[in-house]
Chain A
Amino acid sequence: MSKWIPLWLHKLGSPPTFYRFARTVRPWAMGLALLFGVIGLYGGLVLAPPDYQQGDAYRIIFIHVPSAWMSMFVYAMMGVSGFVALVWRIKLAEVVAMESAPIGAAFTFITLVTGSLWGKPMWGTWWTWDARLTSELVLLFLYLGVIGLYHAFEDRRQGARAASFLAIIGIINVPIVHYSVDWWNTLHQGTTVNLFGHSKMPWEMLWPLLAMTLATKFYYAASLCRRAGTDILALEGGKDWVREIAQAEAGR
């Protein structure tokens, strides 16, 4: 066991093996994302009771909070694989870091827009320069900075290394986003859901939220598989195995 796990990881690091692995995993991850998404949305929009203070407006939570968690989770994934890419120069780690960035940016954008749509009826304003909102906006700019820096280089691998460096520096912002509601007095509400303790939320509202959290996690896995696989085809364009795929899909 201790011997074949490193061997398997080593094989997975080779582009053709990873490509086939990603092609196999992707439909399963997407299927689970859709399954948990349908269950979570049915639970959140139909079964869960309205909030005693916020009425039905609180139902934005079922996409806002999972997206916000993903905006930080994907950033951490990007930072860690960026670190691996810089230290061990693994091509696949560069691919994972750079292809995570657009997905993370998408979730950060969703978080900001849905938060704004929730803030208007509840706080009376679309936007305020509060610590949580501002640090989340900085997170979006960090993602955009990583994407922009990556594409600014003629040589893709050089660009990936420069952008990985920026991603690692930017990790400092992730705990700032997370603890901003504790460190500063914010208009944004504090932590409601606690993974390791008591959550200040009734179970009928909590389980759809957890289902949506799983759905977004699986969605990230599926989207990353597709993006990384596509990127590998671009990087390995001169290799025989990619040429075979190109010829096989000629009719489509």
Chain B
Amino acid sequence: MIALSHFLAMGGYAAYVWPAYAVFFAVLVTDNVAPRLRRRRILRELRERLARQSARARRPPSKP
């Protein structure tokens, strides 16, 4: 317990060391999540486009 609080205190520099590490991980996690969301959106939009195309192909030609 004492060892842990000693570790977390970082010799009095905890206010600088831990935010630095927090920024490092927050930025890299964001860099990881952003392309995942983009990929999901791209594939969803593609499926919607394909669904519209096949619906149009099934419909009889409309009369003017």
Chain A residues with Cβ below 8 Å from B50 are 243, 246-247
For A, the interface residue count at a CB cutoff of 8 angstroms equals: 38
- Which residues 1-32 of B have a CB within 8 angstroms of A? 7, 10-13, 16-17, 19-21, 23-24, 27-28, 30-32
The reply to whether B43 and A114 contact each other, CB–CB distance below 8 Å, is: no
> CB-nearest residue of chain A relative to B31?
A106
Contact residues of A: prevailing secondary structure: helix
Contact residues of B: prevailing secondary structure: helix
> CB-nearest residue of chain B relative to A107?
B27
Chain B residues with Cβ below 8 Å from A249 are 43
The reply to whether A243 and B46 contact each other, CB–CB distance below 8 Å, is: yes
Chain B residues with Cβ below 8 Å from A63 are 20-21, 24
Partner of B24, one of A57, A110, A247: A110
**Is A132 interfacial (CB-CB < 8 Å)?**
no
Chain A residues with Cβ below 8 Å from B7 are 45-46
**Is A226 interfacial (CB-CB < 8 Å)?**
yes
**Is B59 interfacial (CB-CB < 8 Å)?**
no
Tell me the minimal C-beta distance from A110 to chain B in angstroms: 5
**A126-157 interface bits toward B, Cβ cutoff 8 Å, 1 = contact, 0 = none:** 00000000000000000000000000000000
> CB-nearest residue of chain A relative to B36?
A226
Chain A residues with Cβ below 8 Å from B32 are 223, 226
**A200-223 interface bits toward B, Cβ cutoff 8 Å, 1 = contact, 0 = none:** 000000000000000000010001
- Smallest CB-CB A-B distances: 10 pairs: A56-B11, A57-B13, A114-B20, A230-B39, A55-B11, A56-B10, A246-B46, A117-B20, A63-B24, A246-B43
